[in-house]
Chains A and B, each alone.
Chain A
């Protein structure tokens, strides 16, 4: 509870700072753009966060974004496959990757960090090899009215934000009110105890990996609607780091067992607001990393200090 209050406070401070940072900041356009970005990147944060709650982690998300986009692009542009089919293929690819990760982690007892580190190398490499390092630029002509739809608004709110809202509602019910969410938390906090409770821990851990990769695939599709071109060497680069950062900033711990949907989204919002502030202030993007890294470091220091204060009062 205290944690959520802290995140909210932090979010408000950052938002306030954005508002006073520039005369255009309070405009509708700014908010619209911000809404779009939060909507888009929020999906990735949910993907990373839900997995982290179970004690897993996925470093290959960015590379998977690249691979998914490439597959989608090639199918649509080179093989003239319908968009719906290409979309399905993309989601399926995500599911298969998640399943493979999950199986390796649970059945062979490999560490998630290691398995997905390998994925990080492999997926992007496949994408570059498939395209021969070439960009896929002709995607825009093939997508019809879709990009316009996703770029637009429904009832004044960006479509991306609507999508995220839907995921937030489903995700909140899933993580905080359903039996599944309970199991996720239990597995993340103490897998042994969960197993002894008769919970099929392997199933749920695999499920979390699949969920993460499928959401990543969904994000890839939406991101393509936002900018319909694929550059295999850069698309999705470092996306996993942004997503993990948002989740951690929002109160997930890499130890597992902790995290809220609200926190993951708030973390995303904080990072996106900071990015926007950089553009307003004309800070070169080279410096962006310093800012986000520092904020994140501060966030986890405060979190740890809170934790230690709690512990000094109560020895677990």
Chain B
């Protein structure tokens, strides 16, 4: 540990003086947005540099430039103090720069091992170039290190988003690199996998790797970063190091002002009405489940749902939303039994789901922001089957303003927005409706602190207006801050319930890992 600078020491004197990677004066413009303007960044071997900033601040763009995915308009990249030209991902890899991008880039129809070694398959059989089965052993070794506990022969398309994210990380780790860039790697990981990842990252750091880490979970940044570089509106907004790395300080640099209130749950003064809006009894969606899931949602309450990856939280939500077929059990809304064949019936009954995977389930990436927001509410902005462009535009503009979506115009293709802004569009699409039950599956995935606070206050308002809100989240802080009570799932069943007065991280984790209260 002698060379580990540790927090609070003046580590600059301990670190090698030559940055592993340096960006000088990088600028990048897209039609209608200056994504980066004269940005500088230095990262040293053996350190973890966190890059933070609001949604659309330019973090991913900078990493894409370092990773050879996009060329900069101006500026210089230096590796080991030498200027280098990076025109492609291959170039970047040659200089030892490996990037895990914010949006997953996996081959859906290949298995886990195939994805980890894609393009670098160990082969045998000479000219036949047969894929060596050893690939599975090697993949399994990396997977174990990250706690990815699925067979390496599973098709990636059948994995949950969290597992897919781990596959992506495993792929990056299997490449030998000097600079490892992780763009929001934990956005759909639960506490346990994140902790595993951090262990691995610490180990890599000790081996002298330079790690650049992007996240909106500031608690993680506090935990793992030696230095924090903040971007605001595509410019450098400041740096923090060592003991100065503190939630409030980061936020001040990010947003440019103090952020007073973060979680705004005003627990209802009078007890919520006791007639349940949603009753699920003995719900099963898979043959492997020993017992069904039963629970109730009351009007006006926010129910958090925690659990480890693969505990079945999203599956349960999808079953109640009519995406998966109900094997046994029944679902009632305001006492009436639902016959679910597809989401259309659930929506008609007043249940809405903000899905987990925005790019697959939430958005039509090749359509505009406006069309995406209005897609599920076209009936409210059309007359006799014809869409009224003015009303559609008003609706979209109202939601864009309310959620502060950063987009050059309503006509911008949603796929071109930054990750967090895409997530805001998914929320906008559903929050402009007024359901009786709102299911949020990882609602703030990739959303910055400022916008999060706003979304929390919006959720709080919705609950106070009588909506029942069911919030699935892997972000424990969020669960603790917003829930009136928390349901915890473990391996496809409900492991228990924690009331607000007894809420604590330990209580939730104990249930989530299969223990008793």
Contact = CB atoms under 8 A, between A and B. Distances in A.
A194 B386 contact: no
Interface string A254-265: 000110000000
B17 interface: no
A198 B416 contact: no
B445 to A, nearest CB: 16
Nearest to A202: B342
A199 B382 contact: no
Interface in A265-316: 313-316
Nearest to A255: B366
A178 B366 contact: no
A203 B321 CA distance: 19
Contact of A196 (B64, B355, B378, B387): B355
B147 interface: no
| Max count, chain A CB within 10 A of own CB: residue among B70, B364, B415 | B364
A171 to B, nearest CB: 14
A182 interface: yes
A314 B64 contact: no
A307 to B, nearest CB: 11
A31 B344 CA distance: 50
B261 interface: no
Contacts of A64: none
Contacts of A257: 364, 366
Given A182-B378, A315-B64, A196 B70 contact: no
Given A186-B375, A196-B361, A179 B343 contact: no
Contacts of A313: 30
Contact of A189 (B321, B366, B385, B386): B366
A27 interface: no
| Chain A interface residue number, banded | 20 to 34
Contacts of A177: 386-387
Given A314-B30, A315-B70, A178 B385 contact: yes
Interface string A195-209: 111111110000000
Contacts of B480: none
Interface string B58-90: 000000100001100000000000000000000
A190 interface: yes
- Does more than half of chain A's interface fall in helix, strand or loop, or is it mixed? helix
B375 A197 contact: yes
A8 B364 CA distance: 28
Interface string A157-190: 0000000000000000100011110110110011
A48 to B, nearest CB: 21
Interface in B1-38: 30
Contacts of B367: 185-186, 189
A193 B344 contact: no
Given A177-B386, A178-B386, A316 B343 contact: no
Contact of B385 (A180, A197, A258): A180
Given A198-B344, A200-B344, A316-B416, A190 B386 contact: no
Contacts of A201: 342
B378 A316 contact: no
B504 interface: no
A22 interface: no
Contacts of A183: 378
A192 interface: yes
B366 A192 contact: no
Contacts of A258: 366
16 contacts: A173-B386, A179-B387, A182-B371, A183-B378, A185-B364, A185-B367, A189-B366, A189-B367, A195-B323, A196-B321, A197-B429, A198-B343, A199-B375, A314-B416, A315-B69, A316-B415
Interface of A: 173, 177-180, 182-183, 185-186, 189-190, 192-202, 257-258, 313-316
Given A195-B342, A316-B416, 12 more contacts: A173-B386, A179-B386, A182-B378, A186-B371, A189-B364, A196-B361, A197-B375, A197-B429, A199-B376, A257-B366, A313-B30, A316-B366
